[in-house]
Amino acid sequence: MDALRDREDADDDAPGFAELSGRVDLDAAARAVARGAVATPAIASPDLSELAGGPVVLKAESLQVSGSFKLRGALAKLAALGPDARAGLIAASAGNHARAVAQAARIAGVGCEVFMPRDAPVSKVADVQRLGASVSLSGGSVEESLELARARAAETGAELIHPFDDLDVIAGQGTLGLELLRDVPELARVVVPVGGGGLASGIGIALRRERPDVQLVGVQASACAPLPPALQDRDIESVPEVPAAATIADGIALKRPGKLTLALLRELLGAVETVSEEEIADAMVLLAERAKLVAEGAGAVSVAALLGGRLAPITGTTVAIVSGGNVDSGLLASLLRRHETAVGRRVRVFTRLPDRPGVLADLLKLVAGTRANLLSLEHLREAVPLNVRETGVELTLETRGPEHAEQLRAALEAAGYEVTFE
């Protein structure tokens, strides 16, 4: 980890904003990105517009070929490497960057080796392997995996593609900003997830060159939030190393931005917001239910900031970047079930019944008569207080909402059942 500490101590030696941004070639990146990625749609969101007090558009980068914006940066870097890419590519990531580099390597017909944290999401590991890359699950965090990747690149001569702290990668991510400038009339604000800072830096440079009046707001997850609300107020402090499994926003679970991106973010970000795990989960559910978009945690933090009412209304259109959709189906399903319970559309009912034939059938007939949908049933004969010749029954039911659940409770109690609802 000495290399990481050296990089952190060298922030004051980073080139200035003008020099760095001047070296970002968006035109070359756009040509490279067009060869393997798609221009993703900008989708109006009436629900978020009402909450935000003004027009809100979702930039659905979750629909990108690789499932996230990371493919843009990988393709731009691959083009910039030219013949040097023939020695193969190496990457380190919790998932999206790894998948993007693996896909870029497949397009170019070169080898690819990827280092991922040991607890990286299973679906993301499988996606990388499906693309033909060699995967090493090593390191407790993205930073540790990156150090291992650096050592491997030095050993083999393959080209390491950094997930964010590289001007060619930043240029690739900046092509998303070019699309916003082209596709979103009256663009006034862009809300973007921030982890390493490559996406925010690229978009910010594109905006600064053509529309410096557009506000750029960065959003981070509270579990891994090194950026202060005002970047100029004090030095950036590294947060403790964050395992990928410590937050549902694993894609932005980083100690701090990079040396290059930090210098850019200090100039480009107009504000920084921090959202909780609960807010991220709610945003993922809203995107699935209302916008019909599957978003991973890191991809939903911009929407979480709007849902939480953290951003004041603004004249013009606000764009929320939905930066990725590579989420484990099991996690998304659990969040949707959690939401159903929270809004009263899923209830758990416990009652006691005489332990004799036909009694359970009578209970289920009554439940069916209320039009509640039975999801599961479990007999509980241990660890609950029961009389002799009595059994406990726990039902998980789907209802139309709190009012319907209360009608169910009233019907059960009227029939003489003593019930406990959760």
d(CA 249, CA 353): 44
| CATH topology (fold) of 70-160 | Rossmann fold (3.40.50)
Amino acid 7: pLDDT: 41
Which contacts (CB < 8 Å, 24+ apart) does range 236-240 have? 236/11, 236/262, 238/8
Amino acid 207: pLDDT: 97
Amino acid 250: pLDDT: 85
What is the pTM (predicted TM-score) of this model? 0.84
Q: Domain locations in the chain?
A: 2-68+167-337, 70-160, 344-421
d(CA 71, CA 117): 20
| CATH topology (fold) of 2-68+167-337 | Rossmann fold (3.40.50)
Q: Which CATH class is domain 344-421?
A: alpha beta
Amino acid 1: pLDDT: 34
Rg of the chain over Cα atoms, rounded to whole angstroms, equals 25
Amino acid 55: pLDDT: 96
- DSSP for 117-168 reads -TT--HHHHHHHHHTT-EEEE--SSHHHHHHHHHHHHHHH-PEE--SSS-HH
d(CA 68, CA 323): 6
Contact 133, 98 (CB under 8 A): yes
Q: Which residues of the chain have pLDDT under 50?
A: 1-11, 234
Amino acid 94: pLDDT: 79
3-state SS assignment for residue 67: coil
Contact 60, 42 (CB under 8 A): yes
Under 8 Å CB-to-CB from 305, ≥6 apart: which residues? 191, 217, 219, 273, 275, 279, 311, 320
Contact 35, 59 (CB under 8 A): no
> Is 70-160 in the same CATH topology as 2-68+167-337?
yes
pLDDT digits (tens, 9 = 90+) for 38-54: 999 999 999 999 988 99
Amino acid 113: pLDDT: 95
